[in-house]
């Protein structure tokens, strides 16, 4: 039951993502596309530090209404302490087969002019979907505009319990409850 | 419009002592699973409502009632709970649905449309009872009179993500969005955003919470943790400075009660803002309050209910809070006092400590090592410490000097038990009397105490307390001589008024009204008011008599600290409330108990190893529990409690479910119930239900009082009046109708009976007359003359015939005699009589008379009135000519096997034989009484026909 709902949510988020893309296709001059990006997550547990990253970020920013959407495929994460760990991550925790990506879509709260060069600290509000569970989140992001291209970076925490990722008690000491996530992305006009 | 930021300074001296309020985690079970509560809200009746994924739950302190979605398969997390003025509850859900409670279920609100199913984030109801719904991404919907209006970016809303809504008294609604705040109004079917309101400039536009403040002011909380207060003129005041390094993250919820603003934060737990001072101590690091709060609400008793991210429910009350002081783990508190600058001094068997701003302040080692028995901060700022055996220490915090005085300085004794003072003098109670010191001479080298014995004649004794009241009178509590006072320089004793048993007085205090209270370990509590003493003992509700410490606050409370807990005594109502386990009090019989009031009017209690702070500002408990009727049912089916409801006489099995909402100590609540018109007195009960089976008709008032303890004298009363109608058989119209009908039935029966009796009488008289007539006709001289004439002729002609004739004649007369009493005889017998008669008449008339009896007449079985045929035959002879030339031929036959007919040709005599005219009428009336068919008399074709109904069977023949 729960997984079905999660699946629906996942579909809806996917749909929203497609809508963002398609709706703005016509006026794509105000659309920024993610050209290059990197996302790193780190788990600081008492007995083990786990770090994994992915370069395969996809995303769009619509300047007109300050909305955005970012997606990363779970299977593209690399850099675990062992290949077995990577397998566990995909099979047991994030359940890649059921929920193959993590998404974050929403809007930028602060009104900023992305055409002007400069560094801006802004808040984004949106739905963070991990493991099929959507959370309403406000994430602090730094936007750096350098001659048309935009570099977005930020840091946030994903609480495993918020996304119904349960950790067996036996590996409690090896996986942190709160996972730190860092990301950087370069957006350019299409 | 100008924008003013007023940054109120964070006054550290007024901030707390690091005290921790009492936190209770409350777990609710439903179907053997712990409830996962996502939202919490109190309503106007005092119930706590909890939102879950499967519906709403109502908590009354004792029970939790489930209000499911009307379609039980719905699985829709509740995101907002909002009580309506009509005591219904509006509920908004994550999937964008709006529900309302009706008859114990959550029903979808009619006319509400949410096309994109945007999650509902906020709800409010304005003065015109219009429902405002704030959504995530779809702006605001307003429901008014079955019409829905919508407000979005297009018509002036700052943003379509609406996080907070608040309706004010003026009919305007405050809307907090991701991009700012605005005010809107729905008037005359026009939904407008007030243009001026858009200029309420906040540093952070991302508004997360709006909360009603005092008057028309509104508190605003933002995502970055800023707090504003906005008044009438839309000027917002920045009330929590950003530079205090608080950084508590997003403001999640606000609630304003009792002049305190409680702030729920996203990551740093709960905080409290009082008079512009932020109480950070409620914070996560040192209490059981959760860090990640989702929502908070207040109950009527001033407690804060919290739902956290892990979906648990907590209850926080700051009426009593505890101070964690590590020194106290070693030994119990001996003395406690608050100085003029907000520092708390206390001591135990290891030394003396100063506690300030949540921290222990280091003291000079001589002071720190002093095991003070009493502490007194005087009006000049010195701190006096009394000791066992080492006299008294006077510490000057400004200069850092410590002076020690003992018996060498004129002190009555080196054991100093209590110190008090006024602007001039300091009074010391010792084991050998009272010593007085002049404050202005304290630091002089030749400082000497004087003796109260010498000055006022106060006996040398053991003194437990010296106390100076607001009028300047000095009161002494002694061991042996009871209470004494120096009033206007004159010593006064009260041993006479108090009696012999109150010789020990260990604690004295003064209440807000100026009454003096003192405690006798043997007798209990005394109040001295207008030269009168009033005693309060265990029967008045004081739990324990003993070496209790008493302390009164500036309001109406008097705290009595005993080994079982803290008895809170109301000086106005004399009500008593007990506090012990529920506030975390651990009492031990032999441990010392001390109390002191500080400069803020709060009372500090040292009981054993516990240091407790009582905050009278938070005390909303004196109003007691609010009795509420949860449901009422008749024959176990609930009914709506309309005032003055009228029930029919059969609806006389009435049940009330009530509760006194008292989250403080729900299990302790006692109830007094009475059904006015049924119960003569109040009935004490601990049940939450009462049933009145088989109530007789009448007017009733159901009354409930809820008392928080056995020693609560005043309480609120709930009344519900209803009426049970009289049953229809007790109504005047029914009784009238019934009497009428009974009368009618009796009348009809009476009339019928009379008629029956008359008929019977008539029948009897008829029969007698008939018999008489028959007999008379048979023995009438004509008949006899004719018969004897015929007989004499026969004797001459034929003697045998004559004998036969006489036989027939005698048979005939015997038959008359035999049947005269009978109503009916068989037809055959009648025919036998007739045969005799015909024989007699035939002999008389010869060929002039003939009777032709049809053959089937004889074979017919039936009954007939006796002598009928004979009389009819006689009639025909009587009235008609019978001669040879004109013979009378009488026919007797059966008609349709129902009638026996007798017919004769009409040949009337010219000279009529004298007749009584009774024969035929008599027959007709007899048959009428026999209730058979009528006798038919016909004249046609010259024939006179009489048809006699043949009675086929009748039981009356037996007569």
Number of C-beta neighbours around residue B782 at 10 A:
11
Q: Which residues of A touch B36 (CB under 8 A)?
A: none
Give the strands of the sheet with B344-348, arranged side by side.
B333-338, B344-348, B351-356, B359-361
In a domain, B457, yes or no: yes
Strand-strand pairing, B374-377 and B359-361: unpaired
Residue B442 burial (CB < 10 Å; 0-12/13-18/19+)? middle
Residue of chain A whose Cα is closest to the Cα of B137: A106
Residue of chain B whose Cα is closest to the Cα of A127: B136
- Between A147 and B124, the more confident residue is B124
Handedness of CA A133, A136, A140, A141 (dihedral sign): positive
Of the segments B130-134, B708-712, B863-867, B902-906, which one has the largest average pLDDT value?
B130-134
* Mean pLDDT value of segment B863-876: 81
- Calculate how close chain B gets to A109, using CA atoms only, in Å: 7
Q: Which long-range contacts (CB under 8 A, 24 or more apart) does B383-391 make?
A: B383/B339, B383/B345, B384/B419, B384/B426, B385/B347, B385/B352, B386/B335, B386/B416, B386/B417, B386/B418, B386/B419, B386/B428, B387/B414, B387/B415, B387/B416, B388/B415, B389/B414, B389/B415, B390/B414, B391/B416
pLDDT at B856: 82
Size of interface A-B (CB pairs under 8 A): 21
Task: Show which of B572, B602, B618 is a domain's final residue.
Answer: B618
pLDDT over threshold 70, residue B560: yes
Distance CA B238, CA B9 (A): 11
Q: Which residues of A touch B161 (CB under 8 A)?
A: 125
Distance CA B102, CA B88 (A): 7
In a domain, B272, yes or no: yes
pLDDT over threshold 60, residue B623: yes
Residue B828's nearest CA partner among B796, B874, B854, B864 is B864
Sequence-ordered list of residues with C-beta below 8 angstroms from that of B296, at least 6 positions apart, any chain: B40, B253, B254, B255, B262, B264, B270, B304, B305, B306, B307
In a domain, B757, yes or no: no
- Calculate how close chain A gets to B157, using CA atoms only, in Å: 15
Whole-Å CA distances, B49 to A34, B61, B103, B770: 46, 11, 16, 100
B479 and B397 in a common domain: yes
Q: Which residues of A touch B223 (CB under 8 A)?
A: 109, 123, 138
DSSP alpha helices (H): ranges in B681-780? 732-778
Q: Identify the weakest region by mean pLDDT among A153-162, A173-182, B392-401, B490-499.
A: B490-499
pLDDT at B9: 24
Residue of chain A whose Cα is closest to the Cα of B250: A138
Distance CA B493, CA B176 (A): 68
Of the segments A93-107, B221-235, B257-271, B779-793, which one has the largest average pLDDT value?
A93-107
Residues of chain A by 3-state class (helix, strand, coil), percent to 5: 25, 50, 25
Q: Supply the CATH number for residue A164's domain.
A: 2.40.128.110
- Calculate how close chain B gets to A110, using CA atoms only, in Å: 8
The single residue listed with the structure tokens 């059969």 is B650
pLDDT over threshold 60, residue A13: no
Distance CA A4, CA B438 (A): 84
**SS3 for B182?**
strand
- Calculate how close chain A gets to B204, using CA atoms only, in Å: 9
In a domain, B737, yes or no: no
Beta bridge partners of A39: A54, A183
pLDDT over threshold 90, residue B80: yes
| Segments forming the whole domain that contains residue B614 | 326-618
pLDDT over threshold 50, residue B244: no
- Please, are residues A68 and A105 in contact by the beta-carbon 8 Å criterion? yes
- Calculate how close chain A gets to B108, using CA atoms only, in Å: 22
Contact flag A136-B206 (C-beta cutoff 8 Å): no
pLDDT at B894: 86
**SS3 for A9?**
helix
B285 and B155 in a common domain: yes
B695 and B663 in a common domain: yes
* Mean pLDDT value of segment B1-22: 37
- Calculate how close chain B gets to A55, using CA atoms only, in Å: 31
B587 and B695 in a common domain: no
Contact flag B206-A109 (C-beta cutoff 8 Å): yes
Share of chain B above pLDDT 70, in %: 91
Q: Identify the weakest region by mean pLDDT among A9-23, B577-591, B901-915.
A: A9-23
Q: Supply the CATH number for residue B331's domain.
A: 2.130.10.10
Distance CA B571, CA B534 (A): 12
Q: In degrees, to the nearest 5, what angle opens at C-alpha B647 toward C-alphas B643 and B649?
A: 155
pLDDT over threshold 50, residue B955: no
User: Which residue in A1, A111, A123 is closest to B223 by CB distance?
Assistant: A123
B105 and B45 in a common domain: yes
- Around B98, how many Cα atoms within 13 Å sit in the side-chain half-sphere? 25
* Mean pLDDT value of segment B482-506: 84
- Most B CBs within 10 Å, among A15, A19, A125, A163, to test the B interface: A125
- Between B234 and B60, the more confident residue is B60
Distance CA B430, CA B478 (A): 10
pLDDT at B17: 45
CB within 8 Å of chain A, chain B residues 208-247: 223-224
Residue B867 burial (CB < 10 Å; 0-12/13-18/19+)? buried
Contact flag A136-B136 (C-beta cutoff 8 Å): yes
- Please, are residues B602 and B615 in contact by the beta-carbon 8 Å criterion? yes
Distance CA B718, CA B629 (A): 8
Calculate the average pLDDT of chain B: 83
Q: Identify the weakest region by mean pLDDT among A74-88, B72-86, B498-512, B652-666.
A: B498-512
B318 and B372 in a common domain: no
**SS3 for B805?**
helix
- Please, are residues B871 and B878 in contact by the beta-carbon 8 Å criterion? no
Task: Show which of B568, B595, B618 is a domain's final residue.
Answer: B618
Beta bridge partners of B426: B421, B437
Tokens of B560: 């009595």
pLDDT over threshold 80, residue B286: no
Tokens of B776: 């008379």
- Please, are residues B767 and B959 in contact by the beta-carbon 8 Å criterion? no
* Mean pLDDT value of segment B915-930: 71
Distance CA B867, CA B834 (A): 8
B292 and B203 in a common domain: yes
Domain count, chain A: 1
Residue of chain B whose Cα is closest to the Cα of A1: B75
Confidence of residue A189 (pLDDT cuts 50, 70, 90): confident
User: Which residue in B75, B250, B309 is closest to A138 by CB distance?
Assistant: B250
User: Which residue in A1, A111, A125 is closest to B161 by CB distance?
Assistant: A125
B952 and B931 in a common domain: yes
Share of chain B above pLDDT 90, in %: 21
Confidence of residue B164 (pLDDT cuts 50, 70, 90): very high
Tokens of B702: 């159901």
B143 and B26 in a common domain: yes
pLDDT at B4: 26
- Most B CBs within 10 Å, among A138, A140, A141, to test the B interface: A138
Q: Identify the weakest region by mean pLDDT among B222-231, B279-288, B525-534, B876-885.
A: B279-288
Tokens of A92: 């047991």
Confidence of residue B6 (pLDDT cuts 50, 70, 90): very low
* Mean pLDDT value of segment B938-959: 72
B665 and B606 in a common domain: no
Q: What is the pLDDT of residues B405-446, one digit of tens each?
A: 988 888 888 899 999 988 888 999 988 889 999 888 887 878
Question: What angle in degrees, to the nearest 10, is found between the helix axes of B919-929 and B732-778?
Answer: 140
Contact flag B250-A109 (C-beta cutoff 8 Å): no
pLDDT over threshold 80, residue B617: no
- Between B361 and A181, the more confident residue is A181
Sequence-ordered list of residues with C-beta below 8 angstroms from that of B97, at least 6 positions apart, any chain: B76, B108, B114, B117, B120
B311 and B341 in a common domain: no
> Which residues of chain A approach chain B closer than 8 Å at the C-beta?
1, 5, 107, 109, 111, 123, 125, 136, 138, 161-162
Q: Which residues of B touch A109 (CB under 8 A)?
A: 178-179, 205-206, 223
Q: Supply the CATH number for residue B899's domain.
A: 3.30.565.10
Task: Show which of B266, B300, B323 is a domain's final residue.
Answer: B323
Q: What is the dihedral of CA B455, B458, B460, B464, to 10 degrees?
A: -120
| Segments forming the whole domain that contains residue A108 | 2-189
pLDDT over threshold 70, residue B246: no
Q: Which residues of A touch B136 (CB under 8 A)?
A: 136
Q: Supply the CATH number for residue B718's domain.
A: 2.60.40.10
Expressed in angstroms, the distance from the first to the final Cα of chain B is 122
In a domain, B263, yes or no: yes
- Calculate how close chain B gets to A161, using CA atoms only, in Å: 9
pLDDT at B773: 66
Q: Which residues of A touch B310 (CB under 8 A)?
A: 161
pLDDT at B427: 92
Domain count, chain B: 4
* Mean pLDDT value of segment B577-588: 80
Distance CA B805, CA B811 (A): 10
User: Which residue in B178, B309, B310 is closest to A125 by CB distance?
Assistant: B178
Handedness of CA B509, B510, B512, B513 (dihedral sign): positive
- Calculate how close chain B gets to A166, using CA atoms only, in Å: 14
In a domain, B88, yes or no: yes
- Most A CBs within 10 Å, among B95, B122, B206, B252, to test the A interface: B206
B370 and B256 in a common domain: no
Strand-strand pairing, B490-493 and B507-510: unpaired
- Calculate how close chain A gets to B551, using CA atoms only, in Å: 49
Q: Identify the weakest region by mean pLDDT among B45-54, B557-566, B822-831.
A: B822-831
- Calculate how close chain B gets to A116, using CA atoms only, in Å: 21
**SS3 for B791?**
helix
pLDDT at B284: 42
Handedness of CA B409, B413, B419, B422 (dihedral sign): negative
pLDDT at B917: 61
Q: Which residues of B touch A111 (CB under 8 A)?
A: 179
Q: Which residues of B touch A107 (CB under 8 A)?
A: 178
User: Which residue in B75, B179, B310 is closest to A109 by CB distance?
Assistant: B179
pLDDT at A27: 52
- Most A CBs within 10 Å, among B94, B178, B198, to test the A interface: B178
pLDDT over threshold 90, residue A72: yes
Q: What is the pLDDT of residues B141-158, one digit of tens each?
A: 999 888 899 999 888 888
**SS3 for B521?**
coil
Q: Which residues of B touch A163 (CB under 8 A)?
A: none
pTM equals: 0.73
Residue B155 burial (CB < 10 Å; 0-12/13-18/19+)? middle
In a domain, B464, yes or no: yes
Residue B347's nearest CA partner among B322, B314, B374 is B374
B205–A contact, CB cutoff 8 A: yes
């Amino acid at each position: 039951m729960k997984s079905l709902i999660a699946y629906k949510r996942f579909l809806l988020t996917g749909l929203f993502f497609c809508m963002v893309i398609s709706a703005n296709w016509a006026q794509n001059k105000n659309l920024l596309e993610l050209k290059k990006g990197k996302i790193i997550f780190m788990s600081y547990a008492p007995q083990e530090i786990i770090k994994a990253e992915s370069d395969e970020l996809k995303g769009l920013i619509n300047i007109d209404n300050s909305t955005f959407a970012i997606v990363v495929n779970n299977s593209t994460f690399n850099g675990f302490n062992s290949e077995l760990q990577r397998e566990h991550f995909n099979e047991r925790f994030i359940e890649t087969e059921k929920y193959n990506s993590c998404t974050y879509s929403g809007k930028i709260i602060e009104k900023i002019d992305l055409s002007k060069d400069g560094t801006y600290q802004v808040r984004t509000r949106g739905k963070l979907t991990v493991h099929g569970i959507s959370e309403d989140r406000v994430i602090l992001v730094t936007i750096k505009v350098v001659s048309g291209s935009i570099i977005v970076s930020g840091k946030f925490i994903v609480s495993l319990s918020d996304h119904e990722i349960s950790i067996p008690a036996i590996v409690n000491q090896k996986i942190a409850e709160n996972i730190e996530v860092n990301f950087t992305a370069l957006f350019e006009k299409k | 419009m100008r924008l003013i930021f007023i940054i109120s300074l964070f006054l550290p001296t007024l901030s707390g002592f690091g005290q921790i309020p009492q936190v209770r985690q409350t777990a609710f079970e439903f179907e053997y699973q712990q409830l996962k509560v996502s939202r919490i809200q109190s309503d106007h009746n005092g119930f706590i409502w909890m939102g879950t994924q499967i519906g709403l739950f109502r908590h009354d302190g004792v029970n939790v009632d489930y209000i499911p979605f009307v379609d039980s398969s719905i699985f829709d997390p509740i995101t907002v709970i909002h009580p309506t003025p009509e005591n219904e509850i509006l509920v908004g859900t994550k999937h964008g649905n709006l529900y309302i409670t009706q008859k114990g279920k959550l029903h979808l609100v009619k006319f509400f449309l949410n096309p994109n199913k945007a999650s509902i984030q906020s709800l409010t109801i304005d003065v015109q009872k219009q429902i405002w719904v704030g959504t995530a991404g779809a702006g605001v919907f307003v429901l008014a009179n079955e019409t829905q209006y919508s407000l979005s970016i297009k018509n002036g809303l700052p943003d379509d993500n609406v996080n907070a809504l608040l309706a004010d008294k003026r009919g305007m609604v405050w809307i907090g969005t991701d991009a700012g705040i605005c005010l809107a109004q729905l008037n005359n079917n026009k939904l407008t955003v007030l243009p001026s309101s858009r200029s309420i400039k906040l540093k952070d536009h991302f508004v997360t919470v709006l909360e009603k403040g005092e008057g028309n002011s509104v508190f605003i909380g933002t995502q970055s943790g800023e707090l504003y207060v906005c008044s009438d003129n839309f000027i917002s005041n920045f009330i929590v400075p950003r530079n205090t390094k608080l950084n508590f993250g997003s403001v999640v919820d606000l609630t304003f009660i009792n002049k305190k603003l409680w702030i729920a934060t996203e990551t740093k737990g709960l905080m409290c803002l009082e008079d512009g001072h932020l109480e950070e101590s409620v914070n996560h690091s040192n209490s059981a309050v959760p860090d990640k709060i989702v929502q908070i609400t207040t109950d009527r008793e001033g407690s804060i209910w919290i739902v956290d991210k892990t979906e648990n429910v907590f209850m926080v009350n700051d009426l009593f809070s505890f101070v964690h002081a590590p020194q106290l783990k070693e030994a119990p508190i001996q003395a406690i006092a608050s100085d003029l600058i907000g520092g708390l001094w206390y001591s135990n068997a290891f030394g003396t400590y100063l506690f300030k701003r949540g921290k222990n302040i280091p003291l000079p080692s001589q002071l720190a090592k002093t095991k003070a028995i009493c502490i007194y901060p005087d009006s000049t700022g010195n701190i006096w410490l009394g000791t066992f055996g080492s006299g008294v220490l006077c510490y000057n915090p400004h200069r850092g000097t410590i002076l020690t005085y003992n018996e060498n300085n004129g002190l009555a004794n080196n054991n100093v038990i209590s110190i008090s003072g006024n602007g001039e003098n300091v009074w010391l109670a010792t084991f050998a009397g009272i010593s007085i010191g002049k404050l202005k001479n304290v630091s002089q080298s030749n400082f000497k105490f004087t003796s109260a014995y010498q000055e006022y004649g106060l006996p040398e004794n053991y003194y437990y307390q010296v106390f100076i009241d607001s009028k300047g009178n000095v009161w002494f509590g002694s061991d042996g001589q009871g209470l004494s006072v120096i009033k206007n320089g004159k010593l006064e004793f009260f041993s006479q008024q108090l009696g012999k048993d109150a010789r020990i007085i260990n604690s004295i205090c003064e209440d807000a009204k100026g009454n003096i209270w003192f405690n006798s370990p043997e007798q209990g509590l005394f109040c001295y008011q207008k030269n009168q003493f009033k005693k309060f003992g265990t029967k008045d509700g004081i739990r324990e008599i003993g070496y209790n410490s008493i302390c009164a606050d500036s309001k109406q409370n008097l705290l009595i600290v005993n080994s079982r807990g803290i008895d809170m005594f109301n000086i106005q109502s004399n009500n008593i409330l007990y506090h012990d386990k529920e506030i975390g009090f651990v009492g031990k019989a032999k441990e010392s108990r001390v109390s002191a009031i500080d400069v803020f009017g709060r009372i500090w209690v040292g009981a054993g190893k516990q240091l407790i702070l009582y905050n009278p500002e938070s005390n909303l408990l004196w109003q007691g529990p609010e009795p509420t009727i949860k449901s009422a049912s008749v024959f176990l089916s609930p009914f709506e409690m309309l005032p003055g409801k009228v029930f029919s006489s059969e609806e006389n099995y009435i049940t009330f479910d009530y509760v006194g909402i008292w989250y403080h100590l729900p299990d302790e609540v006692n109830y007094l119930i009475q059904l006015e018109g049924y119960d003569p007195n109040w009935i004490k009960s601990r049940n939450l239900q009462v049933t009145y089976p088989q109530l007789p008709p009448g007017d009733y008032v159901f009354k409930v009082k809820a008392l928080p303890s056995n020693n609560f004298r005043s309480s609120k009363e709930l009344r519900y009046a209803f009426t049970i109608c009289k049953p229809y058989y007790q109504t005047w119209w029914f009784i009238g109708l019934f009497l009428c009908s009974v009368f009618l039935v009796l009348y009809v029966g009476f009339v019928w009976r009379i008629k029956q009796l008359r008929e019977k009488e008539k029948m009897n008289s008829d029969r007698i007359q008939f018999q008489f007539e028959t007999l008379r006709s048979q023995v009438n001289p004509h008949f006899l003359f004719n018969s004897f004439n015929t007989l004499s002729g026969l004797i001459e002609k034929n003697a045998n015939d004559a004998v036969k004739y006489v036989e027939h004649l005698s048979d005939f007369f015997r038959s008359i005699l035999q049947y005269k009493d009978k109503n009916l005889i068989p037809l055959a017998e009648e025919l036998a009589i007739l045969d005799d008669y015909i024989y007699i008449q035939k002999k008389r008339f010869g060929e002039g008379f003939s009777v032709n009896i049809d053959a089937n007449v004889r074979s017919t079985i039936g009954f007939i009135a006796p002598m009928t045929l004979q009389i009819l035959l006689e009639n025909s002879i009587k009235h008609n000519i019978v001669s040879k030339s004109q013979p009378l031929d009488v026919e007797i036959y059966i008609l349709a096997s129902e009638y026996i007919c007798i017919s004769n040709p009409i040949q009337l005599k010219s000279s009529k034989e004298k007749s009584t005219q009774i024969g035929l009428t008599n027959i007709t009336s007899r048959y009428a009484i026999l209730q058979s068919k009528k006798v038919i008399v016909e004249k046609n074709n010259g024939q006179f026909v009489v048809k006699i109904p043949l009675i086929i069977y009748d039981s009356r023949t037996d007569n």
